Amino acid sequence: MKRKSLFALSAVVVVAAAALVPVLWSGGDNLHNGTAMAATPADQAALIKQGEYLARAGDCIACHTVRGGKQFAGGLPMATPFGTMFTPNITPDDQYGIGKWTQDDFYRAMHTGRSKDGSLLYPGFPFTSYTKVTRADSDAIYAYLRSVTPVNVPSRPHELKFPFNQRNMLIGWRTLFFREGEYKPDPTKSVEWNRGAYLIEGLGHCGMCHTSINAMGGPVSSAAFAGGLIPLQNWYAPSLTSNKEAGLGDWETKDIADLLKTGVSNRGAVFGPMAEVVHNSLQYMSDADINAMATYLKTIPQKSEAPEQLQLETSEKFGGELLKQGQKIYADNCAKCHADNGLGMPPNFPPLANNQSIQMPSAVNPIRMVLNGGYPPSTDGNPHPYGMPPFAQALSNQEVAAVVTYIRMSWGNHGTAVSPQQVSDLRSAPLD
């Protein structure tokens, strides 16, 4: 999943997700220009390698690289309700990138959400999470970015509506939603648990997708990890706190780790934005870090109910008609892979029976899968994933609604019927 939030990045977006390292510097200036040197060449090389791991683990390339463009040169458009924003050039180019940024400048952006010149950064750059990043990790990422090839391309100006183009208005937002401070380990928890918390809550900023936002674009604190629609991508990030969605309370830790590392497990597979995250990011993380994340996720408090999500439903009578129509469509198009009884052939063809992601109040994801198809990520642990073909050209809006209704209400599933209007809305929505 490209990690996009309701707002887009306005300055350096760097997601870190790996181990802490000691940093030895004799200065705080530009590594690319040679004015910042590690204690020894070996130390410098190790620091850059560590920074590369952090940047790869954080999926920085996905947001700062246009498809087919130069790495980290920015320019990725992000359409928001407030206008279109464009990710910046974060290569070490002195004119258009971060070539003149110091370590302190970079850490200030990560830790306080302020750019080199002191201007406020828009919260699409998740400094509310990155403030927890240690100085050592920030310096390692900085060292790596200063080692990549500079690209002399200007960052495209944002195209925001008034008054959202007035950065000073962010002062109020920060007062409400931002608390500065590095992550502090919980002494009552294990080292592994604390490592996982640091990665999930800070470097990985997982809550950016899995926590609902309010009308002001701020996270709903009472709904942490309780799921929400990803507006820019038209996918639903399921709740991690409810077993009626993707709650992990009854998952084995190994299944969580497998899903993060390879994109597939005995409990299911990832598609859509999360597949991109696994492909670009999580598969490159060490087993120790993946297990730490799984350990922490396993302990997220579970709630009996998932949050209510807006869902277009149908009348009971029309829902019954859709269910009957969907049974035939399923037999003709889906049963070959997912079986007549919905049990599938995991992990290649995931089960649809008793599948929380199918039964969630929000039907966005199954509708998107039927319309657009997709593949789990290609990873070292699953190099040749089996995919789902798209049916947007073969099935009408009502037929898609019918087959999704059928899989949500069959084999003991407790989902509800969906509306052809919702299918129409998602058919015309951009894929990312």
Tell me if 413 sits within 8 A of 353, measured CB to CB: yes
Looking at residue 18, what is its pLDDT? 33
Q: What is the four-CA torsion angle of 49, 54, 58, 63, rounded to 10 degrees?
A: -50
CB count, 10 Å around CB of 44?
18
At 212, which CATH number? 1.10.760
One domain for residues 356 and 420: yes
Q: At 214, list the tokens.
A: 């309010």
Q: Which stretch of DSSP H or E encloses residue 215? A: none
Residues 97 and 164 in one domain: yes
In a domain, 307, yes or no: no
Q: What percent of the chain has pLDDT over 70?
A: 79
Q: For residue 249, what pLDDT band results from cuts at 50, 70 and 90?
A: low
Same domain as 226, residue 172: no
What is the pLDDT, as a whole number, of residue 213? 67
Between 352 and 308, the higher pLDDT residue? 352
Is 16 inside any structural domain? no
Distance between CA 311 and CA 417 in Å, rounded? 10
Is the per-residue pLDDT at 233 higher than 80?
no
Cα 194 → chain centroid: 21
**183 lies in some domain:** no
Mean pLDDT confidence for 368-386: 85
Same domain, yes or no, for 394 and 417?
A: yes
Last residue of a domain, one of 177, 200, 228: 177
Domain membership of residue 149 as a residue range:
41-177
Task: Please report which confidence band the pLDDT of residue 162 belongs to, taking 50, 70 and 90 as the band edges.
Answer: confident
Domain ends where: 177, 205, 223? Answer: 177
Residue 311 forms part of a structural domain? no
Read off the pLDDT band of 11 (50, 70, 90): very low
- Domain co-membership, 286 together with 389: no
Kindly state whether residues 108 and 149 are assigned to the same domain: yes
Q: What is the DSSP letter of 169?
A: G
85 with 206, same domain: the answer is no
- Reply yes or no on whether the pLDDT at 354 is more than 70: yes
Q: Do 55 and 155 reside in the same domain of the chain?
A: yes
**What percent of the chain clears pLDDT 90, i.e. is strictly above it?**
36
- 372 and 273 housed in the same domain: no
DSSP string, 220-276: -GGGTTSBEEETTTTEEE--SSBTTTT--TTS-HHHHHHHHHHSEETTEE--THHHH
Residue 306 confidence (pLDDT): 47
**Residue 14 resides in a domain:** no
Number of structural domains the chain divides into = 3
pLDDT of residue 62: 80
pLDDT at 55: 85
Say yes or no: 202 and 248 in one domain: yes
User: Is residue 234 scored above 70 in pLDDT?
Assistant: no
Report strand pairing: 159-160 vs 228-230.
unpaired
Structure tokens at 258: 């497998």
Q: What pLDDT is attached to residue 137?
A: 95
Residue pLDDT, tens place only, 25-82: 333 444 444 444 446 888 999 999 999 998 887 788 888 888 889 999 999 887 666 7
**Is the separation of the CB atoms in 131 and 110 below 8 Å?**
yes
pLDDT digits (tens, 9 = 90+) for 388-402: 899 988 998 889 999
Q: What is the pLDDT of residue 405?
A: 93
CB-based contact 420:315 (threshold 8 Å): no
* pLDDT tens for each residue of 128-148: 899 999 999 999 999 999 999
Q: Name residue, tokens 């302190």.
A: 104
Are 74 and 154 in the same domain? Answer: yes
